[in-house]
Amino acid sequence: MTKTAFITGASSGIGWATAVALGQAGFRLVLTGRRRDRLEELARELGNVPTHLLTFDVRNRQAVEEAVQSLPAEFQDIDVLINNAGNAHGLAPIQDGDPQDWDDMMDGNVKGLLYVSKAVLPSMTRRNVGHIINIGSIAGHETYANGNVYCASKAAVAALTKGMRLDLLPHNIRVAEVNPGAVETEFSQVRFKGDNARAATVYQGFEPLKATDVAELIQFMVTRPAHVNIAEVLILPAAQAAATVIKKA
């Protein structure tokens, strides 16, 4: 029986790569994001993989609810939820932080995860089956200077993952967290608000993870037997030992 995976933030980076990996593993896919053109491009790349596209911002609770309720019958029973959508904005000491950046990070990384989970969970709890992967970060486990609110938002993801695992245990729903270190995606371009030159320096002098590295891990996790839950994984490039400790050439 073909399983259905629901992936947020599928229009780039880890979300895009995860869609490809799960499509290759035989999943039917619900692909969500804010950029419809990118989702359509991804659907074309996936070829014959059954897909349904939803365009919304996870920070908008009403839009999330309406999008999930609009799913056609063949995509309504979600087996796997990948809570990948999120963002980092700015890198400043707390006294110089931009409150709009704070709102964007907390709304996207924390509230967005909650809104999507709340909307998708009825299809899992009704059937007493499901698997949720929350994309956290090493930043949620190691706070670093100037990372304050971003680190706090990812620490919240870690706490929510544990709480969800406890609450959903009676429904046989597996809940896990993947915590990447340095991954070369659009992450730094967003954090530095389009300053591509500054973003590029983040990954200079060492080989960072690729989005496909994280996607292959997610594919492995969601294809384990039903009695196995790989509950928490920290995945780093070999050159990285801690959040801010990277060996560069």
Q: What is the CATH number of the domain that holds 201?
A: 3.40.50.720
CA separation for the pair 176, 101 (Å, rounded): 27
Place of tokens 């039917």: 28
**Taking 80 as the threshold, does the pLDDT of residue 45 lie above it?**
yes
Q: How far is CA 234 from CA 130, 136, 166, 172, 244, in A?
A: 22, 9, 20, 24, 15
Among 125-134, 166-175, 194-203, the minimum mean pLDDT is found in 194-203
Q: How confident is the model at residue 126 (pLDDT cuts 50, 70, 90)?
A: very high
**Mean pLDDT throughout 236-246?**
97
| Residue 84: domain span | 4-246
Q: What is the domain count for the chain?
A: 1
**Taking 90 as the threshold, does the pLDDT of residue 188 lie above it?**
no
Q: How confident is the model at residue 230 (pLDDT cuts 50, 70, 90)?
A: very high
Given the residues 115, 144, 150, 203, select the one marked as catalytic: 150
**Mean pLDDT throughout 22-32?**
98
Closest alpha carbon to 128 in 226, 30, 232:
226
pLDDT at 177: 98
CA separation for the pair 32, 19 (Å, rounded): 10
Digit-coded pLDDT (tens) for 67-84: 999 999 999 999 999 999
Tokens of 144: 């670093």
What SS3 state is found at 35? coil
pLDDT at 1: 83
pLDDT at 191: 72
CA separation for the pair 151, 139 (Å, rounded): 5
Tell me how far apart the 2 most distant CA atoms of the chain are, in Å: 53
**Mean pLDDT throughout 99-108?**
97
150 in catalytic set: yes
What SS3 state is found at 79? coil
**Taking 80 as the threshold, does the pLDDT of residue 93 lie above it?**
yes
